[in-house]
Amino acid sequence: MLTNALRTLAPRVRTAGLRTSRLLSTTTRTRYAAEPVANHNKPTEALDSNTMPIYLDAQATTPLDPRVLDAMMPYMTEEYGNPHSRTHKYGWETEHAVDTAREQVANLIGAHPKEIIFTSGATEANNTAIKGVARFYKGKKNHVITSQTEHKCVLDSCRVLQEEGIEVTYLPVDKGGRIDLDQLKREIRPTTSLVSIMAVNNEIGVVQDIKEIGRLCRERRVFFHTDAAQAAGKIPLDVNEMNIDLMSISGHKLYGPKGVGAMFVRRRPRVRLEPIMTGGGQERGLRSGTVPSPLVVGMGAAAALAQREAAYDYAHISSLACRLIDGIQSRVSHVVRNGNPNHMYPGCVNLSFSFVEGESLLMALKNVALSSGSACTSASLEPSYVLRALGAEDDMAHSSIRFGLGRFTTESEVDYVVQNVAAHVERLREMSPLWEMFQEGIDLKSIEWSQH
Amino acid sequence: MTVTRSQVLKLYRSSLQAAQQFETYNFRKYFYRRTRDRFRASSTLTEEPAIAQAVAEARQELTVMQRQGLVNKMFSHNRVVIESDPKYASGTRRFAD
Ligand SMILES: Cc1ncc(COP(=O)(O)O)c(C=O)c1O
């Protein structure tokens, strides 16, 4: 019955969808034409209207898994109750679904469901955790430690704290992208309230030694926050084993919906924080506002799926990463992978192609959806601050591209990308005078460039 | 209740078919691969309760794939570039593996 009804509906919905999307694309095109926006990642030559490039940008976002959408659908149709309505069945049913989702997210990281606070994403979780803890303890402790390679939302939260008179230490990282634990130990003061270090870096995929950092912070009685937006559901995380006091997770990085995230806030020993959102007192008073039940249900389903599929996904992504790296390195010389090879999340492959400008390569690879770094900096020509923090020379930072592999990436796609990358790198190098000089054995560092 | 070999084979065939219903290339390939690997992994099970549980899960997964395959069909009108590339013919609509 339902199936038949859907079948007859299908063609109509599809044409309607096509028509609106065409309309939309013409309007956006004209709007953008009037106001030139510097988007250097945009290919010069557009693909025909419904051909899509291969998606290799899993760090920017991941597709919504159809199984997650399936869990969300009832809450976008029949089950519209406010989860905080206590007086009727609409509310109770949605509340029950939110509770299940809370449990699913808690299970993924070994937490108690009561320690999970739903937010609008990792950005809000990071803001709430960092500003919240620092402001709450400001009277006695006015120092926060973070690293130079954190996501912009962590760095900007710390900037705001500095303006409020809180001192912030930005730890440097080594060539491999990891912080030095001895240095962290030295930087912890009696007045330090919080250490915030990300689990997996979004640009290079390097994994920090979260367990050791957690141990150190617990020893020194400093709260430890980790931004696990790129780590949750990808690598094993356990808040108790790793002594994590606060954690940020994003829904759309683990095949869940956009606009939802979660923050873990430890209950024992209790972490207190000053909320940013005030109002109805939802989410233990730490994040007022009606919980978006469809999104939260999706986040829960995504977390449960990530937990169930962890080994399978990890094996698939690791094998694709090997195929990609070996494939490119066997065809192209002078390619280096950025980050400490012993501590990497395989789904994030950041490669520097010597003598090739990353932006030119991105433009040439118009059939592949890639980025040279994080989505927030990809509109500027500035080399990534993360690669700079690794001590990469400017030219290497300029020549890097990030390949983001995910659950839905296929082997054929990787093969296609390898072929295309090899061909374009070769072509771009042939046009490069620097490459020619290098081939002739001229040491480029010995050249005196004229100043201008 | 014991599950017969032919029931499992039927379930396997229906699941692969359901996976093929996704219009979106990446979903189609993923669900095909996942279904195949899941059934292969469970084919070594010998204990009755474990088999029954695997079958129940697979049935559940099948209904999800059937529903979402339909939803996906209704809203999908894009093709990934390799689907029209003859060199990557395995990426085309008909040959799922
Ligand atoms: C490490 C890291 N933290 C935070 C975020 C922001 O997450 P959200 O989009 O959920 O706010 C991202 C993604 O852009 C990220 O990669």
Euclidean distance between CA atoms A79 and A88, whole angstroms: 12
In a domain, B79, yes or no: yes
Task: Determine whether the interchain pair B74/A6 forms a contact, defined as Cβ–Cβ distance below 8 Å.
Answer: yes
Tokens of A136: 């709450």
Tokens of A296: 């939260």
Tokens of A238: 């356990």
Pocket of ligand 1 (CB under 6 A): A 121-123, 151, 153, 198, 202, 227, 229-230, 250, 261
Give all strands of the β-sheet with A335-337 in edge-to-edge order: A335-337, A348-353, A400-404
In a domain, B43, yes or no: yes
Tokens of A66: 């159809």
User: What is the reported pTM?
Assistant: 0.88
Please state the domain count of chain B. 1
pLDDT tens digits along A301-357: 999 999 999 999 999 999 999 999 999 999 999 999 999 999 999 999 999 999 998
Residue A245: CB partners within 8 Å, gap ≥ 6? Answer: A217, A223, A224, A225, A265, A266, A269, A271
φ/ψ of A43, rounded to 5, equals: -65, 150
Could you give the ipTM of this predicted complex?
Answer: 0.92
In a domain, B35, yes or no: yes
pLDDT tens digits along A282-294: 999 999 999 999 9
pLDDT tens digits along A140-182: 999 999 999 999 999 999 999 999 999 999 999 999 999 999 9
Q: Å from B46 to nearest chain A CA? A: 22
Ligand 1: distance of its center to the CA of A302 in Å?
16
> Which residues lie across from A404 on neighbouring strands?
A57, A348
Chain-centre distance for alpha carbon A318 = 18
In a domain, B18, yes or no: yes
Question: Helix or strand or coil: residue A372?
Answer: coil
In a domain, B47, yes or no: yes
Task: Determine whether the interchain pair B80/A17 forms a contact, defined as Cβ–Cβ distance below 8 Å.
Answer: no
Euclidean distance between CA atoms A99 and A109, whole angstroms: 16
Question: Helix or strand or coil: residue A196?
Answer: strand
In a domain, B97, yes or no: no
- The structural domains of chain A, ordered by start, are 66-305 (3.40.640.10), 309-440 (3.90.1150.10)
Q: Which domain holds residue B25?
A: 5-88
In a domain, B94, yes or no: no
In a domain, B93, yes or no: no
pLDDT for residue A434? 83
**Residue to substitute in A117, A118, A152, A153 for testing ligand 1 pocket (most ligand atoms within 8 angstroms of CB):** A153
pLDDT tens digits along A100-144: 999 999 999 999 999 999 999 999 999 999 999 999 999 999 999
